[in-house]
Amino acid sequence: MTRRLTGIPASFQRGFRRSVHRAAAAGLLAAALAIPGTAALVAAPAIAQETPVRGGVLNSIVQPEPPTLMLGLNQQGPTQTVGGKIYQGLLTYDQKLNPMPSLAKSWTISPDGLTYTFKLFENVKWHDGKPFTANDVVFTTSKFLMEVHPRARAVFSRCESITALDDHTVEFKLKEPFPAFIQAFEVSSAPIVPAHIYEGTDYRANPANNTPIGTGPFKLKEWVKGSYIQLVRNEDYFKEGLPYLDGITFRVIPDAASRSLALESGQVQQTQYSDLEPFEVPRMKTLPNLTMTTAGYEFVAPMAWLEINHRVKPLDDKRFRKAIAYAIDRKFIRDKIWFGLGRVPTGPINSVVKFYDPKVTTYEPNPEKAKALLDEMGLKPNGQGVRATVKLMPMPYGETWTRLGEYMKQALGKVGIAVVLESTDAAGWAQRVANWDYEITTNFLYQYGDPALGVARTYISSNIRKGVLFTNTMGYSNPKVDELFAKASQEIDPAKRQEQYSEVQRILSDELPVVWLLEMEFPTFLDKRVKNANTTAIGVNDTYESVWLAK
Amino acid sequence: MMMKSDFWRAFARNKGAVLGLVILIAIVVLAVFASVLFPGDPWDMATAPFQPPLSDDALLGSDMLGRDIASGIAHGARVSLLIGLTSTAAALAIGVTLGALAGFHGGKVDDAIMRFTELFQTIPNFVLAVVLVAIFTPSLTTIVAAIAIVSWPPLARLARAEFLSLRTREFVQAAITTGQSNTTIILRQILPNSLSPIIVSASLMVATAILLESSLSFLGLGDPNAMSWGYMIGAARTVIRQAWWMSVFPGLAIVLTVLALNLVGEGLNDALNPKLARSRG
């Protein structure tokens, strides 16, 4: 029997409505009472569904300015946000990370988990008028992405064959079952590019990279470097009547204060990711014309942690790492350093990602317990009350991370772990962490919707790779963990898979290869006139085909 | 040489200088007794975040992590004064040595040293300091070294000018004739007579060094383990709309210190160049 899955728009609408109503309620309440700072959440009465209207231009921010819009070649955040309107993947995901149609209208997975068959929409055209067919998908996944996209390469190299069964059907045959495969088709993971333009060329040097040709609802009209990127409606878009918007303009505003001013003054109607500094968020939340949501980042689901080099004593002792975990107050970090953005984590998997299990060893702030563990290790305080000295190199990604480093120094100092802060620039940080030349650092990684795609890489011993960033730089190695991650990545029974991931979460939360600090959230601010935006797990990076502006 | 009492009289004639000296002494006292006045670590979260000034636990308010601003200013005074004084001392050592050699020997030595000095003078001070600190990773030592390296050229030129004019004077010629060694002449004869302008510019250089250190810390290139005024302002910049006190008080501390040093410098100038002072009335 073949399981047949199709997208369920109702489920994503539900997610969307929930978040918008919540944010709208907070905004309305604040406006009605005219008390700045009111952020109380009350249940909002259902707002009548309005009918979309056509027309209008949405203004947003792109920060920093992307190097290119050719999403296949570059997947930095800003490229995704703009490129996601021009290019499309086969799938997108609702905010529970269930697959939904994008270029594929339906798909089937064989019971043995080895064959994935996608039916494509039939009347899709590239922006240059050529028809989009299964051949484009085969070219993109078997040739183009294999050469230029490391994350996609790791996924599609698991394919034994990728074939076009007919013009609108593509079949992926895997060497071994890999249930996370279905999570790997959103627009940044596998953007479909036109074979008729790229096949047989030097992909990176193709002149068409400057005039991106996609299938998406918006086309690039003009890009004035340093100023704005203007997208306009694709009149030939395959969905009748869509998109609603005439266009989207992304403004390049390098200065953080100017960005918040642009949103405040209504010059832009949307900000995303780190456009606004965390400390601006509480204030902006109270503005009556805006709604704020942290939904729409489920696919990236970033997790921040203290990355600890196990090659350095006493950091190799799990009691020491536990002492660190007991010494810090993660709620303080979330509330005071991230100004309330984020969730306190329990283990290695972000709670919005599949197979998250909260039933693990958790670490409430408890300095006494931390001291007891250090005593047990024989680390007694010296004359100055210092039991051990460690070096902490905060990630040089802005102030928030600097504050976090300062907090760590104080919190660990309280239990007798003296911290020497090291500062460095972004390049130096990457170099030192990748080459294991650090003791403790702060870091965050995206989880990409499935533990096999974004979590395992940090903990499995086969990913201890000197010189490569975002790998198992700690040098953590536990055969049991390796085995569980390997088994779970191939297990097609979701219940068994859950068991394996639950077990690995229990082991990791006890051994603490890293100390998890925060499930990071990003704020998306939308003007209340913007409707239907931010409905999926990739939020602002989605196509915006059904976004509309109220008059 | 001038008598001590003359010096004080000349110095005290400049009211501004006396005021500057008083402020400076107050800041030095604050720095010396920082640990007594504010026992704990200035990085400690002493109270709730964002407490306005005059609240119970924080006279000058607290910052975003609940750290006491007043304690930060007191402990920051240590760092500022320490960096100001040591980097000036280092700059003096480099600048005066090179200037003295150039001025005394003249000719090719002078040419070589002056071209070398000009090389440094053509690079903008602050940019060079930023680059040096960034390359050698920020710490108190690298910051002091960077400030010294960018500040010595004016001192070298000043010392050279003094030496050039003094070495043709009779007492130096006499010393040469009596067969004193070059080192003795430089250290014993010329240097003491050229000290006045050097002391005056060194006192101003302390102020510049403090400003440089604050600017570096403001940009996040301070020693991450040392509380300093520039760091406090840099951290406060982003929350200035919520917490003005976080930037205003450390800012005032910098203004007062730099102003005091400039006033004292002026007073020293008056006292050490009495002719000039009298002609100004």
Topology of the domain comprising A52-57+216-297+524-539: D-Maltodextrin-Binding Protein; domain 2 (3.40.190)
What's the CATH number for A303-520? 3.10.105.10
Cβ <8 Å between A425 and B134: yes
Cβ <8 Å between A423 and B224: yes
Under an 8 Å CB criterion, which residues of B touch A?
Answer: 41, 43-45, 49, 64-66, 134, 137-138, 220-221, 224-225, 235, 238-239, 241-242
Of B65, B238, B239, which has the smallest distance from its Cβ to A407's Cβ? B65
Contacts of A423 in chain B (CB under 8 A): 137-138, 220-221, 224
- Band of the pLDDT at B189, cuts 50, 70, 90? confident
The beta-strand segments (E) located in chain B are: none
pLDDT at res. A43: 38
Cβ <8 Å between B44 and A420: no
pLDDT in tens, A357-404: 999 999 999 999 999 999 999 999 998 889 999 999 998 877 889 899
Strands A247-252 and A270-271: unpaired
Of B43, B221, B242, which has the smallest distance from its Cβ to A410's Cβ? B43
Share above pLDDT 70 across residues of chain A, in percent, rounded to a whole number: 91
Q: Which residues pair with A219 in a beta bridge?
A: A232
pLDDT in tens, A4-44: 443 334 333 333 333 334 434 443 333 333 333 333 333 33
pLDDT at res. B278: 52
pLDDT at res. B270: 85
pLDDT at res. A441: 96
H/E element, A220: strand A218-224
pLDDT at res. B66: 87
Strands A3-5 and A57-62: unpaired
Q: Which residues pair with A159 in a beta bridge?
A: A174
Strands A290-293 and A440-445: unpaired
B184 with B127: CB under 8 angstroms?
Answer: no
> C-alpha A140: how far from its chain's center?
22
Which residue spans of chain A are classified as CATH 3.10.105.10? Answer: 303-520
Residue ranges and CATH numbers for the domains of chain B are 80-272 (1.10.3720.10)
Looking at CA atoms only, how far is residue B65 from chain A in angstroms?
Answer: 7
Contacts of B137 in chain A (CB under 8 A): 422-424, 428
Cβ <8 Å between B238 and A279: yes
> C-alpha A403: how far from its chain's center?
23
Of A277, A403, A423, which has the smallest distance from its Cβ to B65's Cβ? A403
Share above pLDDT 90 across residues of chain A, in percent, rounded to a whole number: 72
> Mean pLDDT across the stretch A243-264?
90
Of B43, B44, B138, which has the smallest distance from its Cβ to A423's Cβ? B138
Burial letters A40-52, b for 16+ CB under 10 A, else e: eeeeeeeeeeeee
Cβ <8 Å between B43 and A279: no
- Band of the pLDDT at B44, cuts 50, 70, 90? confident
pTM, full prediction: 0.81
Q: Smallest Cα–Cα separation from B263: which of B71, B17, B43, B29? A: B17
Cβ <8 Å between B66 and A336: yes
Amino acid symbol at B222: G
Contacts of A410 in chain B (CB under 8 A): 41, 43-45
A237 with A126: CB under 8 angstroms?
Answer: no
pLDDT at A498 over 80: yes
Q: How far apart are the C-alpha atoms of B272 and B278, rounded to whole Å? A: 11
Tracing tokens 């730099």 back to the chain, one arrives at B258
Number of neighbouring beta carbons within 10 Å of residue A430: 15
Burial letters A250-270, b for 16+ CB under 10 A, else e: bbbbeebeebbebbbeeebbb
Q: How far apart are the C-alpha atoms of A71 and B244, rounded to whole Å? A: 43
Topology of the domain comprising A88-215: Dipeptide-binding Protein; domain 1 (3.90.76)
A176 with A490: CB under 8 angstroms?
Answer: yes
Q: Which residue of B has its CA nearest to A398?
A: B220
pLDDT at B279 over 70: no
Q: How far apart are the C-alpha atoms of A367 and A344, rounded to whole Å? A: 18
pLDDT at res. A78: 87
Q: How far apart are the C-alpha atoms of B63 and B235, rounded to whole Å? A: 9
pLDDT at A47 over 70: no
Q: How far apart are the C-alpha atoms of A317 and A116, rounded to whole Å? A: 44
Q: Which residue of A has its CA nearest to B48?
A: A336
Residues ≥6 apart with Cβ < 8 Å to A167: A133, A134, A135
Contacts of B239 in chain A (CB under 8 A): 279
A472 with A308: CB under 8 angstroms?
Answer: no
> Mean pLDDT across the stretch A440-458?
92
Cβ <8 Å between A423 and B137: yes
Which residue spans of chain A are classified as CATH 3.40.190.10? Answer: 52-57+216-297+524-539
pLDDT at res. B41: 87
pLDDT at res. B2: 53
| Sign of the dihedral defined by the CA atoms of residues A72, A73, A75, A81, in that order | negative
H/E element, A166: strand A159-166
Contacts of B241 in chain A (CB under 8 A): 283
Cβ <8 Å between A279 and B64: yes
Which letter does DSSP use for residue A329 in this model? -
A115 burial type by CB count under 10 A (0-12 exposed, 13-18 middle, 19+ buried): middle
Strand order in the sheet with A388-393: A417-421, A388-393, A440-445, A303-308, A514-519
Coil vs helix vs strand at B121 = helix
pLDDT in tens, B105-157: 989 999 999 999 999 999 998 999 999 998 888 999 999 999 999 999 999 99
Q: How far apart are the C-alpha atoms of A102 and A192, rounded to whole Å? A: 11
Best of B43, B50, B216 to mutate (most A CBs within 10 Å, chain A): B43
A516 with A524: CB under 8 angstroms?
Answer: no
Contacts of A441 in chain B (CB under 8 A): none
Q: How far apart are the C-alpha atoms of A235 and B132, rounded to whole Å? A: 55
Contacts of B135 in chain A (CB under 8 A): none
Instruction: Average the pLDDT over each of A27-31, A93-97, B156-160 and give the range with the smallest value.
Output: A27-31
Number of neighbouring beta carbons within 10 Å of residue A289: 15
Contacts of B45 in chain A (CB under 8 A): 410
Share above pLDDT 70 across residues of chain B, in percent, rounded to a whole number: 96
pLDDT in tens, B67-111: 999 999 999 999 999 999 999 999 999 999 999 999 999 899 999
Tracing tokens 């494509």 back to the chain, one arrives at A120
Torsion angle defined by CA atoms of residues A495, A89, A454 and A390, in that order, rounded to the nearest 10 degrees? -160
Coil vs helix vs strand at A363 = coil
Cβ <8 Å between B64 and A405: no
Q: Smallest Cα–Cα separation from A541: which of A206, A66, A171? A: A66
Cβ <8 Å between A410 and B66: no
Looking at CA atoms only, how far is residue A359 from chain B in angstroms?
Answer: 31
pLDDT in tens, A273-329: 988 888 888 889 999 999 999 999 999 999 999 999 999 989 999 999 999 999 999
Which residue spans of chain A are classified as CATH 3.90.76.10? Answer: 88-215
Q: How far apart are the C-alpha atoms of A262 and A254, rounded to whole Å? A: 12
A64 upstream amide cis, omega within 30 of 0: yes
Average pLDDT in chain A: 88
Contacts of B46 in chain A (CB under 8 A): none
